[in-house]
Structure 1
Amino acid sequence: MAASMVCRPTEEQPQWGGFVAARFYKPRNRAMTHANLMNNYFNPNSVYTEEDFRRHFRMRRHIFERLLRDFHQVNLYFRHKWDRASRPGFSPHQKVTIALQMMAYGSLADSMNEAHDMSKSTYLDTLEQLCDTIVQVYKDEYLREPNQEYLNRLFRKVEDRGFPGMIGSLDCMH
């Protein structure tokens, strides 16, 4: 797959309108960032271990792969495509990775630009697509209103751990 993502820079960088008139194309090496991501986390002899993966992504690799498969099947955004300038787009692994990292760490889109070589607008579009897809795919199974028995069990658990009233918080992670 990485071989099909090779982008060859041109002598002259074309002006690209995108969403903002007169915005210039910034040559981003999507193939290299995809290859690094795969080499670091997903290839059989990846640089990082399963424990490293769990710590970095805050989930096990098989859960990530299930999410990736589900998103790929349901939402065309998470399929590998060519962009309007006939360059290979970001891979599904790249898109899911950055959106999950933004959610897991509360990262700002601007702060992740150099690591993943994506523009702020692409980060935000990807995060929005991921959130919409999560609701679409997992709503019935995981995103239901809690019943009173479940809430009571959660209240007891958080009080035992010294966090009374935590259930009323909108963001319990950060």
Structure 2
Amino acid sequence: MTYFSKEEERPKRIGLVSGHLVINCGREEGNSRIYNDYFSDNPTYGANLFHRRFQIQRSLFLHIVDTVREHDNYFVQKVDGVGQLGLSTLQKVTTAFRMLAYGASTDSTKEYVRIDESTIIECLKRFCRAIVKVYEDEYLRSPNTDDVARLLQKGEERGFLGILGSLDCMHWKWKNCPPAWVGQY
């Protein structure tokens, strides 16, 4: 059994939680990686790869980043008590997008973005709350008559007449439907 003498370095507890050892996971490196990969003037991954990985255009992503940051102060990068920069807005929002777009686990997100698991979960929760609060009146509502007319027009332009009515599949016979699901949809 090894004991530490007073002269030897002992693991030090950092932070507010007793017994909680804080690991420097390289958040600055994570922020640099995200910025250089997707947002610099000459990003490693161009617009097509950005769209494939995040499922939206970079310009819309950045608009959402600004909107979420304005709505919730949590997403603003701050300086902590010892003068170190905290997590960037891009790190926090990228975390939420990676989890939502890929269904990624906290572990795989943690390795790229360099954020701890509890912070990843907090980012995702706050991001979802902010999106719902900011966009619910415009996008998270039942369609009105103007919306229906616009959707039907788009469907007709693309050769799908009466597209909204096709979403009602209740009259179909689901011969290959698992028995446990019968009558549930």
Q: Under TM normalisation by the shorter chain, which class is it?
A: 0.7 to 0.9
Superposed counterparts of 1:1-174, under 5 Å: 14-18=12-16, 20-84=17-81, 86-146=83-143, 153-156=163-166
Question: Conserved in 1, the CA contact under 8 Å of 2:98 and 2:109?
Answer: no
Q: 1:52-104 deviations in whole A, cap 9, x for unaligned?
A: 11001110000001001101111101100123554321100010001011011
**In structure 1, C-alpha distance between the alignment counterparts of 2:165 and 2:52, rounded to whole Å:** 27
Unmatched runs of 5 consecutive residues or more in structure 2: 1-8, 152-161, 175-183
Question: Conserved in 1, the CA contact under 8 Å of 2:36 and 2:43?
Answer: yes
Question: Conserved in 2, the CA contact under 8 Å of 1:53 and 1:61?
Answer: yes
Question: Equivalent pairs: percent with the same residue?
Answer: 32
Question: Conserved in 1, the CA contact under 8 Å of 2:29 and 2:114?
Answer: no
**In structure 2, C-alpha distance between the alignment counterparts of 1:49 and 1:69, rounded to whole Å:** 21
**In structure 1, C-alpha distance between the alignment counterparts of 2:121 and 2:164, rounded to whole Å:** 32
Return closer, same or farther for 1:67/1:101 CA change in 2, 3 Å cut-off.
same
**In structure 2, C-alpha distance between the alignment counterparts of 1:12 and 1:94, rounded to whole Å:** 32
Return closer, same or farther for 1:158/1:57 CA change in 2, 3 Å cut-off.
farther
SS state at 1:99 partner: helix
**In structure 1, C-alpha distance between the alignment counterparts of 2:84 and 2:168, rounded to whole Å:** 50
**In structure 2, C-alpha distance between the alignment counterparts of 1:45 and 1:158, rounded to whole Å:** 46
Farther off after superposition, 107-116 or 120-129: 107-116
**In structure 2, C-alpha distance between the alignment counterparts of 1:75 and 1:50, rounded to whole Å:** 27
- Give, in angstroms, the shift of residue 16 of structure 1: 2.8
Aligned residues: 151
SS state at 2:64 partner: helix
Who wins on radius of gyration, i.e. which is larger?
A: 2
Structure with more helix by fraction: 1
Unmatched runs of 5 consecutive residues or more in structure 1: 1-10, 170-174
Question: So what's the TM-score if we normalise by structure 1?
Answer: 0.75
**In structure 1, C-alpha distance between the alignment counterparts of 2:143 and 2:18, rounded to whole Å:** 47
**In structure 1, C-alpha distance between the alignment counterparts of 2:72 and 2:90, rounded to whole Å:** 14
**In structure 1, C-alpha distance between the alignment counterparts of 2:165 and 2:27, rounded to whole Å:** 46
**In structure 1, C-alpha distance between the alignment counterparts of 2:82 and 2:19, rounded to whole Å:** 15
Question: Conserved in 2, the CA contact under 8 Å of 1:13 and 1:25?
Answer: no
Name the amino acid aligned to 1:97. Answer: T
Question: So what's the TM-score if we normalise by structure 2?
Answer: 0.71
Return closer, same or farther for 1:82/1:154 CA change in 2, 3 Å cut-off.
farther
